[in-house]
Amino acid sequence: MSVPLIVSERSRPELSARPLSVGCLIFERMDQIDFTGPFEVLSRMPDTTIQVIAKKVAPVRDVKGLRLSPDGCIADAGLFDVLLVPGGHGQQSLMHDEAVLDLIRRHVQNERLVFSVCTGALLCGAAGVLMGRQVTTHWSARHLMRHYGAVPVDARVVVDGNLISAAGVTAGLDAALVLVSLLRGDAAAQEIQLAIEYAPNPIFHSGTPESAPADVLESFQKKYEAIGTAREKEAVRYAATYHADR
């Protein structure tokens, strides 16, 4: 069973009173809650501005058809204090997209915070920024993280220096609250939690493969098979290429 939070021994983000900027990446066939969940929290963080960016300044649709509009494009984006990298099926088509991967690399190299949600961690892996870093992602993809040199962790939220990762989908809310607590203090995070009435008390207890009924897990795995196979193939290819170049 996963734990709520793991914080590595690397230096963690420090409390700050200065204005902060957050850049949120969106793309076709993403999972919108990977973005909108954290947005609900981070948009309430005191003295913070948020910019939504995409490959082009044009609307995108999430994997279920929700229309999202960016404020600007990656090419014109500078460095943000926090870069949010969501996941979803559309992540797979960006695994070789140098504009997206360079955006992630630049933020890590300049010691800005990179916040991945769900399979956004695979994009961070493709950018080559996870070597030796502890990371979590959706349970169905967690085993792939070793191919990117990462140390996969069965946790809801992982903080490893300037990399913050959330497990699947709704874990982005938890990670966003952790991020607020690190940057603005526990009280700020708790007030936001109260404002959005974030008090999970699920009717069903099928949110992990360990707790889901066997027939529910089997049904999911059949539906996930195609994207899961594609993700594994790409992870294996990345690892082989990386070691061949060394």
Q: What is the DSSP string of 139-163?
A: TTTGGGGGGGT-EE--EEEEEETTE
The distance of Cα 116 from the centroid of its chain, to the nearest Å, equals 2
d(CA 122, CA 213): 27
State the catalytic residue, choosing from 24, 73, 118, 124. 118
Hey, what are 48's tokens?
């913070």
Our CA angle for 155, 68, 139, nearest 5°, is: 20
Mode of pairing for the β-strands spanning 155-160 and 151-152: unpaired
CB atoms within 10 A of CB 37: 25
Please provide the distance, in angstroms rounded to a whole number, between the alpha carbons at the two ends of the chain. Answer: 36
Would you say 74 and 101 are in contact if contact means Cβ atoms under 8 Å apart?
no
d(CA 60, CA 68): 5
What is the Cα gyration radius of the chain?
17
24 is catalytic: no
Catalytic residues: 118
